[in-house]
Amino acid sequence: MGDLRTTDAARTQTSQDLGGLTVCLVGINYWPETTGIAPYTTAMAEALTDAGASVHVITGIPHYPQWKLQDERYAEGRRWEEMRDGVRITRVRHSIPETPDLVGRAKLESSFLQGALREVRRDTSDIVIAVTPSLAGLAAGALGHGHRPFGVLVQDLTGNAAGESGTTGGRASRLIASGEYALLRRADRIGVITPRFGDLLIEQGIEEQCISGLPNFTHITPVDVSAATARTRLGWTDDAFTVVHTGNMGMKQGLESVVEAARLSDTRDLGIEFVLVGDGNQRAALEEQGAGIRSLRFVPPLDGDDYPYALAAADALLLNEKPGVREMSMPSKLTSYTSSRRPIIAAVEDGGITESVVREHGAAAIIPPGQPERLLQAAQDLRCDAVQSAHLTTAAQRMYQNRYSPVSAHARYVRFAQQLSTIRAGVPA
């Protein structure tokens, strides 16, 4: 979602507080991936570098959200060394499952762990920070940090996610969660992107004073153009009320209901179009389900120049989650949505992490997930009610300013590293 490079304003305002500190940052997703957690891991590395630290990133090969190798430079070999924006990057070979089910993900995790753990143990940085997901990055940090302070940035709780998305059964997801929490207990400090994750960790015996809030931020620069102008640039039609969903098309997004809402729009000739921008392991099935639906459009992942125009092309932006998803994750797309000056529809579970955040700020029209009729009605309501649309747009902008400022986020990253560097590692590997 958008250009991964940190905005100039954010980078120049990061204080130089980490001079002399060396940091090992381990996680499977990194630049040049454009969606999910990669932009935030990339931004953390750059923020720490700008603050004077020497950063070594240990990561995987680009594959997400397509679940296919995205750069032929990595078709051969086991290990690659790169430099980008002052950050040293070590990439290690891992499997890429065609179907990221339990077996496929297990192969990915085990193969990345093998290479990443070796690199973390070789690394001589002062501190080690792991980013979750994946579990393999967490395990590599937890098992490889030695006597160095060890921190974790929790972007997602993998065990919860596996159960709620349907990727695994209940027993398997509980086993995954148990292992995940055991690894997290090895950390000296944990950053969470939403307070709900902190509450869940405290319930698992992790001390509250070890947990810091590290909300994500908007990593794109919005464009101030009309929807019509944006659609012209992208080659989209301008004769429908357009609802746009961006990012991963996986199980937890539950986009089947969006396809059915588009089918209803066709049947009733409502002139409401749903645009799904991105890729993922469910895209082919969604395209098959939506074959012949005029009010449905699929758009491949967009680069940093075009992605802000996809947001601007929307009359409304859509957060959509599978019914039953409550605790697994906070959609990273929300950070970009709030900066776009467009109203947001959130089809999310009542009481879930996403619902609680958008409700707190009044930043979206909230409807139950998995109900095409309600989704279509929400779009119709926004089309017919300019006052409500403007109210939601203003609330989302306030949420962006208060919660998702890049400058504030980068300062939090630096503070997290500072705090970690001043403590003694609690559990040696």
Walk me through the domains of the chain, giving residue ranges and CATH numbers.
8-217+405-421 (3.40.50.2000), 227-403 (3.40.50.2000)
- Return the pLDDT at 387: 97
Is 278's pLDDT higher than 50?
yes
Which parts of 235-295 fold into alpha helices (H)? 256-268, 283-289
Band (pLDDT 50/70/90 cuts) for residue 329 is low
Residue 105 host element (H or E):
helix 102-122
Q: How far is CA 218 from CA 222, 253, 349, 403, in A?
A: 9, 20, 24, 9
Query: For 68-110, how does the pLDDT look when each residue is reduced to its tens digit (9 = 90+)?
Result: 999 999 999 999 999 999 999 999 999 999 888 889 999 999 9
Determine the Cα–Cα distance for residues 128 and 151; give it in Å rounded to an integer. 6
Is the pTM of the predicted complex or chain greater than 0.75? Answer: yes
Query: For 26-80, how does the pLDDT look when each residue is reduced to its tens digit (9 = 90+)?
Result: 999 999 998 889 999 999 999 999 999 999 999 999 999 889 999 999 999 999 9
Determine the Cα–Cα distance for residues 310 and 76; give it in Å rounded to an integer. 35
Which of residues 330 and 89 earns the better pLDDT score? Answer: 89
Average pLDDT, the chain: 90
Residue from 40, 126, 17, 43 nearest 420 by CA: 126
Which parts of 386-429 fold into alpha helices (H)? 386-403, 406-421
Taking residues 193-220, report their average pLDDT.
91
Cis status of the peptide bond prior to 368, with omega within 30 of 0 = no
Contact in structure between 271 and 241 (CB atoms under 8 Å): yes
- Return the pLDDT at 318: 98
